[in-house]
Structures are given as structure tokens and as C-alpha cells.
Amino acid sequence: MSVSQEKCRGCAQKVPLITLTGNLSLGALKVVAGMLGNSVGLTVDGFHSLTDGIGTLFVLASLKIAGKPRDESHPYGHGKVEFIASLFVFAVLIGIGIVFLVRSTQELLAGSKEAPHYLGVLVAAVSVVANYVMLNFNLCAGKRINSPALIANGYENLTDLVSSFPVGIGIVAAQFGYFFCDPLAGVLVSLFIIVNASREAWHSIDSLIDASAPPATQRRIRGLATQVAGVQRVGAVRTRLVGQNLWVDLDVEVDPDASVDHAHGVADAVRGLLLRKGKHVEEVVVYCRAAGGS
């Protein structure tokens, strides 16, 4: 592992702790400010942040488990626990979104005749800035080490960041007599949480059932394999994500007159090249076939 990779992994271990502290602090601040300031939108957004904090705890646990080495009971490693953690986080978010969608709708239909305290706008602004910082921390570390759990954590902060905008706008509009704007903001935030979390939850489910790597990654794998001397053609390329790492099976065609030893040498060369230059590739299985054969 290179120095930069070690540095990224060290950073990735600290990021969830920073995010946990930030989410819980923001959540508590928004809930208290929302309740004292009579803002439904800000209260909903506060519980959203608290839920993000709970999700970060699962990210921490999943990273610890996913880092365990392969063993006889888990020959493919423990990486998929990150997808399970991500799925749990998004499932909780969907539940929270539904609960507050109902509450916000009830408040909207009941009609409010009181504007929330204007300090809620300041709290919403603080939320935007803080979530932007945490979003970048999570996505930087998550993409560098290819961690689904950290990336999911980052997108949670993104939803929190985006949802703080209508909250702030709703509070400002209510100051001018448009009292319905605050509960309307709560409805919009709830819908945003549900839609975004549902999309990301489906991605986690897809990965749990061995979804293949993106087409661009498969093309890169195929391109690397064709660079090896002796490879006449690359056949099927099969990939699956196991947490942070990628497992690859591929068929290569060699000269039908080549010896068995030569074919094995080509296969070893392909495997070695993919392990060295394939991004986040953990294991490679190469099947050699005679060119033109079935």
C-alpha cells in the first residue's frame, strides 16, 4: 500500500467521528431552535440531522467489520457489510421522512397564524455550511478508498444541506405573513428525504445482489488485459463489488498452438497487471481459451 493510500485510510477512520459529532450537534441545535422558535420545517430538519448521526454510528461499525481479513467462513471478505449498513441508514431515513411528511402535512392543512422566530434562518445557514464541510470530507475519503458506507454518509449530508434551503426560505417568507411556507418547507424536506433515500437504498440492494462494476470500469479492465503479450482477444468480463473492493473474472483467448505453460503464463500476467493497475481490484480469476475455440 502506498503512502498516499495509507494516508487516505487514516483519514477515512477519522471522518466518521467528525461527521458523528457534527450531525449530532447540528441535530440538537435545529430541534431545540425549531421547537422554541415554532418552526415545523426546522424541527423536521433537526431530526433529519440526528438520524444522520445514528447512521454514522453504523458506518463506523461497518468500516471496522469490513476491514477484517478474509477467513474460511468468509472467503470473499466482509466488505458487503458496508452495503448492509448503507441500506439500514437509508431505510431509517425513509421512515423519518414518512413520519414528518404526515406531521408537516397536518400542520399545513391546519393553517398557522404565527411566524417562526427569525433566528431559525441563522441556524439553517449554519446547517448549510457545516453539511458542506462534512459532505466533502466523506466523499473525498469515500471515493479515495472506494467505501460505499462513507459515500452514503456523504450523500446524507448532501440531503441535509439541500433540505436546509427551503427551511430557511420558509421561515423568511413567514415573517412577511406567508405562514403556510414553514410547514410547506417541512413537506418539501420530507419528500426530498424519502425520494433521495429510496434511490440510494435501491443502489445498496443492487450491490448486495452482486451488481457488476460500471461499464467504464469494465472497459478499463478489458483494455488492460489486451495490453498483455499473448492475449489475442478478451472474452467475457464478470465483475462484482464486495464493499470497497472489486472482484474480477474474465476470459482471454490465446494462440491455439500455445503450450499449456505459455497459456498459464499469459493468465498470470493478466492477473498481475489487473491487480497492480486496476482501481480497487482485490482478486482476479483468468480463464484461458484457444482463439477461435468455443
CATH code of the domain covering residue 259: 3.30.70.1350
* Mean pLDDT, rounded, for 144-165: 79
CA distances from 73 to 67, 70, 197, 244 (A): 15, 8, 32, 19
Average pLDDT value for residue range 208-233: 86
Q: Do 66 and 31 share a domain, yes or no?
A: yes
CATH of the domain at 27: 1.20.1510.10
pLDDT tens, position by position, 229-264: 999 999 889 888 776 678 899 999 998 888 888 989
Instruction: At 38, give phi and psi (nearest 5°).
Output: 60, 40
Q: Are 151 and 236 in the same domain?
A: no
pTM: 0.62
- The pLDDT, as a whole number, for residue 8 is 67
Are the C-beta atoms of residues 280 and 246 closer than 8 Å to each other? yes
If asked whether residues 105 and 192 sit together in one domain, one would say: yes
- Same structural domain for residues 232 and 112? no
pLDDT tens digits, one per residue of 184-198: 888 887 888 888 788
Nearest to 53 by CA among 21, 95, 88, 10: 21
More confident residue, 124 or 71: 124
Are 147 and 63 within 8 A, CB to CB?
A: yes
Residues of the domain holding 244: 215-290
Indicate if 128 and 195 belong to the same structural domain: yes
Domain identity same for 120 and 197: yes
pLDDT at 3 over 70: no
292 vs 169, residue with greater confidence: 169
Residues 173 and 28 in one domain: yes
The last residue of a domain, from among 190, 208, 226? 208
Residues 190, 264 share a domain: no
92 and 190 housed in the same domain: yes
Count: domains in the chain: 2
pLDDT band (50, 70, 90) for residue 1: very low
Report the range of poorest mean pLDDT among 25-34, 53-62, 215-224.
Answer: 53-62
Encode pLDDT of 16-36 as tens digits: 888 888 889 988 999 999 888
In terms of domains, do 72 and 166 share one? yes
Average pLDDT value for the chain: 83
